[in-house]
Amino acid sequence: MPNLKVTLLQQPLVWMDGPANLRHFDRQLEGIQGRDVIVLPEMFTTGFAMEAATQSLPEEDVVAWMHEKAKQADALIAGSAALQTERGPVNRFLLVEPEGKVHRYDKRHLFRMADEHHHYEAGNERVVFGWRGWRILPLVCYDLRFPVWSRNRDDYDLALYVANWPAPRSLHWQALLTARAIENQAYVVGCNRVGTDGNGHHYRGDSRVINPQGDIIGTAEAHQATRIDAELSLAALKEYREKFPAWQDADAFTLD
């Protein structure tokens, strides 16, 4: 069974400057090889700005840049961007394969405390896709607080969260990532930003990789711009789920 090598880029973001952010990640991605998934933060081209979708780079430009980097690294490149689309402005998680295939997930839960629901359209589709033998569920920031949306129906092995999660609620971020891993018996990856945004909000990062038992197998010091590497074992995941099949006793539910 294939292992999955993941890399998280916990980085600061330049406020509302797409070209500057792409140049920054050009430097961070240079020379990265031998990985399967490389994760950038939420809204990696702008920072978490409500006006970002009307002033951001076009989707085709962001996808073209991500495709170039995916080919360069021979890895899936993942990160969300504020985009203007046919259905209006969205916070869209883009996951681009080296061959050019693009997976799209529009953030379902919009952060009302920042009026995100007044500026963006909520997604309505839960997305799971396959990559190098793994089933991946992409989710964005505030989605983390809603366990039903990320409930494992025996359909994914890895939940992948990107975020701009502020420092004052860092404990929530850390606890909920661990909870999602334990309750869903799946690996969880959470990539958050660091630094201060244009609204004066501070970010600690606390990006991490968590195994199905809730153990942190990859993390970084708070407030540090850094790269995190981890390797996930599908064999270990399947063995654990067979030995401790709590998933078989989960309550049935239907999403409307």
From the candidates 69, 97, 107, 191, which is the catalytic residue?
107
Task: List, for residues 198-209, the tens digit of each pLDDT value.
Answer: 999 999 999 999
CB 121 within 8 A of CB 157: no
Sheet holding 76-85, edge to edge: 102-106, 88-96, 76-85, 37-39, 3-10, 226-233
From the candidates 42, 69, 97, 191, which is the catalytic residue?
42
Asked, for residue 255, whether it belongs to a domain, the answer is: no
The pLDDT mean for the chain works out to 96
Distance between CA atoms of 100 and 28, rounded to whole angstroms?
21
CATH number at residue 16: 3.60.110.10
- pLDDT at residue 252, rounded to an integer: 84
Asked, for residue 81, whether it belongs to a domain, the answer is: yes
Asked, for residue 128, whether it belongs to a domain, the answer is: yes
- pLDDT at residue 113, rounded to an integer: 96
Distance between CA atoms of 234 and 239, rounded to whole angstroms?
9
- Is 191 among the catalytic positions? no
Could you tell me which residues come within 8 angstroms of residue 121 by beta carbon, excluding any fewer than 6 positions away? Answer: 87, 88, 89, 90, 106
Asked, for residue 172, whether it belongs to a domain, the answer is: yes
Task: List, for residues 29-51, the tens digit of each pLDDT value.
Answer: 999 999 999 999 999 999 999 99
Asked, for residue 82, whether it belongs to a domain, the answer is: yes
Asked, for residue 256, whether it belongs to a domain, the answer is: no
- Is 238 among the catalytic positions? no
- Is 59 among the catalytic positions? no
If one counts the domains in the chain, the total is 1
**Shortest CA distance to 174 belongs to which of 213, 212, 205?**
205
Asked, for residue 45, whether it belongs to a domain, the answer is: yes
From the candidates 69, 97, 116, 141, which is the catalytic residue?
141
**Shortest CA distance to 119 belongs to which of 55, 64, 61?**
55
**Shortest CA distance to 13 belongs to which of 140, 194, 162?**
194
Strands 129-131 and 102-106: unpaired
Q: In this model, does residue 255 exceed pLDDT 80?
A: no
Asked, for residue 229, whether it belongs to a domain, the answer is: yes
Domain encompassing residue 143: 3-246
